[in-house]
Amino acid sequence: MRRHPARHTTRRTALASCTALALALGATACGGDTPTAGGGKSLAGQQVTVAGTWSGTEQKNFQKVLDAFSEKTGATTQYVATGDNVSTFIGSKVEGGDAPDVALVPQVGVLQQFAKNDWLTELSTKTEDTVDSGYSPVWKHYGTVYNKFYGLYFKAAHKSTVWYSPDAIEQAGVKPPKTYKDMLTAGRTIADSGLAAFSVAGQDGWTLTDWFENIYLSQAGPDNYDRLAQHEIKWTDPSVVKALTTLGELFQDKQLVAGGQKEALSTDFPGSVEKVFGPDPKAAMVYEGDFVAGVAKDQFGKTIGEDADFFPFPAVGDGEAPVVSGGDAAVVLKDGKNPKGAMALMEFLATPEAAAVWAEAGGFLSPNKKLDLASYGDDTTRQTAKSLIDAGDTVRFDMSDQAPAAFGGTKGTGEWKLLQDFLRDPSDPKGTARKLEQAAAKAYQD
pLDDT tens for 325-367 read: 999 999 999 999 999 999 999 999 999 999 999 999 988 999 9
Answer yes or no: are the C-beta atoms of 102 and 80 closer than 8 Å: no
Q: Mean pLDDT of all residues in the chain?
A: 90
The answer to the question of residue 71 being in a domain is: yes
State percent of the chain over pLDDT 70. 91
Query: Parallel, antiparallel, or unpaired for β 324-333 and 196-198?
Result: unpaired
State percent of the chain over pLDDT 90. 85
Answer yes or no: are the C-beta atoms of 415 and 403 closer than 8 Å: yes
Higher pLDDT, 382 or 27: 382
Res 12 pLDDT > 80: no
Task: Output the CA torsion sign for 139, 66, 53, 78.
Answer: negative
Q: Up-side HSE of residue 69: CA atoms within 13 Å toward CB?
A: 30
The answer to the question of residue 361 being in a domain is: yes
The answer to the question of residue 1 being in a domain is: no
The angle subtended at Cα 414 by Cα 408 and Cα 418, nearest 5°, is: 115
Residue 119 pLDDT? 98
For the residues 420-424, what does the mean pLDDT come to? 98
Query: Parallel, antiparallel, or unpaired for β 161-164 and 309-312?
Result: antiparallel
Same-domain pairing of 376 and 290: no
Element (H, E) at 226: helix 222-229
The answer to the question of residue 396 being in a domain is: no
Bridge partners of 304, per DSSP, are 308
**d(C-alpha 271, C-alpha 264), whole Å:** 10
**d(C-alpha 20, C-alpha 223), whole Å:** 36
DSSP state letters, 413-445: SHHHHHHHHHHH-TT-HHHHHHHHHHHHHHHHH
Q: Is residue 85 very low, low, confident or very high in pLDDT (cuts 50, 70, 90)?
A: confident
Structural domain of residue 305, as residue ranges?
161-323+402-445
Residue 202's domain is classified under what CATH number? 3.40.190.10
Last residue of a domain, one of 344, 365, 390: 390
Each residue's pLDDT tens digit, 245-284: 999 999 999 899 999 999 999 999 999 999 999 999 999 9
Tell me how many domains the chain contains.
2
Answer yes or no: are the C-beta atoms of 386 and 92 closer than 8 Å: no
Same-domain pairing of 267 and 194: yes
Same-domain pairing of 245 and 278: yes
CA-CA-CA-CA torsion for 41, 47, 48, 52, nearest 10 degrees? 130
Same-domain pairing of 248 and 131: no
| Burial class of 191 by CB neighbour count within 10 A (0 to 12, 13 to 18, 19+) | buried
Q: Is residue 410 very low, low, confident or very high in pLDDT (cuts 50, 70, 90)?
A: confident
Instruction: Single out the residue of 174, 166, 163 nearest to residue 273, CA to CA.
Output: 163
Distances (CA, A) of 37 to 43, 69, 213: 10, 17, 50
**d(C-alpha 343, C-alpha 339), whole Å:** 6
| Burial class of 85 by CB neighbour count within 10 A (0 to 12, 13 to 18, 19+) | middle
- Give 431-438's long-range contacts (Cβ < 8 A, gap of 24+): 432/244, 433/235, 433/236, 433/237, 433/240, 433/241, 433/244, 434/235, 434/236, 436/235, 436/240, 437/234, 437/235, 437/236
Same-domain pairing of 308 and 331: no
The answer to the question of residue 2 being in a domain is: no
Residues 6+ apart with CB under 8 A from 345: 48, 50, 69, 75, 77, 101, 102, 330
**d(C-alpha 322, C-alpha 106), whole Å:** 21
Same-domain pairing of 85 and 28: yes
**d(C-alpha 47, C-alpha 68), whole Å:** 14
Res 193 pLDDT > 80: yes
Same-domain pairing of 314 and 366: no
Euclidean distance between the first and final Cα of the chain, in Å?
A: 51
The answer to the question of residue 156 being in a domain is: no
| DSSP letter assigned to residue 33 | S
Q: Is residue 299 very low, low, confident or very high in pLDDT (cuts 50, 70, 90)?
A: very high
Residue 405 pLDDT? 84
Same-domain pairing of 212 and 254: yes
Q: Up-side HSE of residue 167: CA atoms within 13 Å toward CB?
A: 10
Buried (b) or exposed (e) across 278-290, using 16+ Cβ within 10 A?
beebbbbbbbbbb
Same-domain pairing of 288 and 169: yes
Same-domain pairing of 319 and 332: no
For the residues 54-80, what does the mean pLDDT come to? 96
Specify the pTM. Answer: 0.85
The angle subtended at Cα 214 by Cα 210 and Cα 216, nearest 5°, is: 110
**d(C-alpha 68, C-alpha 154), whole Å:** 15
Same-domain pairing of 218 and 351: no
Q: Is residue 84 very low, low, confident or very high in pLDDT (cuts 50, 70, 90)?
A: confident
Last residue of a domain, one of 390, 412, 436: 390
Element (H, E) at 138: helix 137-142
| Burial class of 7 by CB neighbour count within 10 A (0 to 12, 13 to 18, 19+) | exposed
DSSP state letters, 162-197: EEE-HHHHHHHT----SBHHHHHHHHHHHHHTTSEE
Same-domain pairing of 256 and 123: no
